[in-house]
Amino acid sequence: MGPLPTPYLHPDQGSAERVRPGAGERRFIARTQAAGLGGQLLRDEPLSRHCSYRLGGPVDLYVSVTKEEDLIAWVRQAQTLGYPWRVLGGGTNILVADVGVRGLVIENRCRGHQLREEQTLSVSAGVSFAGLARRMARDGYQGLEWASGIPGTLGGAVVNNAGAYGGSVADVLRRVRLLEVEGTIKGREATAAELGFGYRTSLLKTRRAGVVLSAEFAVGRQDPKILSARVERLDEHRRRTQPREPSAGSVFKNPPGDYAGRLIEAAGLKGERLGGAQISALHANYFINAHQATALEVAQLIQRARDAVWQKFRARLDLEIELIGEWDESIRLALVN
């Protein structure tokens, strides 16, 4: 059975006023300074600077790393001290609360890739997934052309089993290197079969048991002109059907046998606007930041679309994007149940 219709959210249902953390944060900062960890630690860094929606509040502590050993060190330090943390890639596929995020955000900018034996591509998790797909096509390696327009980094693509135009990560992934964070923090390899891939999900998303460090993909040789032409056709399709305004990509997963965008459009909400947030007039499963939108306005619009589709078609729409930060529990329940 699908979700019951819920009352629309009101502005006073947003997150509580942000309060400065206390001794726990000071202790964490002191320990990291003493350990000499790589990267500049910033306080109250606006996440609107680091996410594709260009909205959302600050995070208590923020650090950007370019070396894998620094990423591991920050995760280990936070985990050991019991300080809340999360890794951020390209900042896509997320909606950050207006009041912001508690704890530490580690931006993974570890980048690099290499070909092994012509058929295996090894890639660091901080690499742009779309950029990687385009480079491979240009160099005559097929298998990732479908990803040439997917925003974000490789790590997020693996966690979410990103896909488009009939392709997905699960189709071409061979194995990943993970930093396990349940119990003892340690690195290990996992095959694609171990990751429990499903439609836009994996065990890495549902269990949050590890951080992707790198991944290996199966690729094959093909004429670069053929691959580049394929990428250009996909680019042209995206230009015609997807908005350029700030967004998080597709907001909802497609329900079985249908498309979320079609259902929202059929419910009469294509182009609908609420404050600075809008359901795109190009693609109804894209909710854009049309003009200085707040995260709450986007959330209200998402709820309106979800309820309208349920009321008209009795079709349940589940979020593909993730709410992160200090959201009021009533908002989470309205959008994810």
**Which of the residues 134, 177, 200, 306 is marked catalytic?**
200
Q: Give the C-alpha separation, 70 to 275, whole Å.
A: 41
Coil/strand/helix, residue 335 = helix
Give the strand pairing for 287-289 and 322-324.
Answer: unpaired
Asked about 320 being catalytic, the answer comes back as yes
Q: Which of 214, 42, 185 is nearest to 114 (CA)?
A: 214
Could you tell me which residues are beta bridge partners of residue 88? 107
Q: Give the C-alpha separation, 157 to 148, whole Å.
A: 12
Coil/strand/helix, residue 147 = helix
Backbone angles phi, psi at 127, to 5 degrees: -75, 140
Asked about 25 being catalytic, the answer comes back as no
Asked about 245 being catalytic, the answer comes back as no
DSSP states of 219-235 as a string?
Answer: -EE--HHHHHHHHHHHH
C-beta pairs of 143-147 under 8 Å, 24+ apart in sequence? 143/172, 143/217, 143/218, 143/219, 143/220, 144/172, 144/217, 144/219, 145/227, 145/230, 145/231, 145/234, 146/234
Q: Give the C-alpha separation, 258 to 313, whole Å.
A: 11
For 248, 254, 284, 287, the CA distances from 260, given in Å and listed in that order, are 15, 5, 8, 12
**Which of the residues 168, 214, 250, 280 is marked catalytic?**
250
**Which of the residues 107, 216, 265, 320 is marked catalytic?**
320
Could you tell me which residues are beta bridge partners of residue 51? none
Q: How many other CB atoms are there within 10 angstroms of residue 59's CB atom?
A: 25
Tokens found for residue 186: 């340690």
Q: Give the C-alpha separation, 85 to 106, whole Å.
A: 7
Catalytic residue numbers? 200, 250, 320
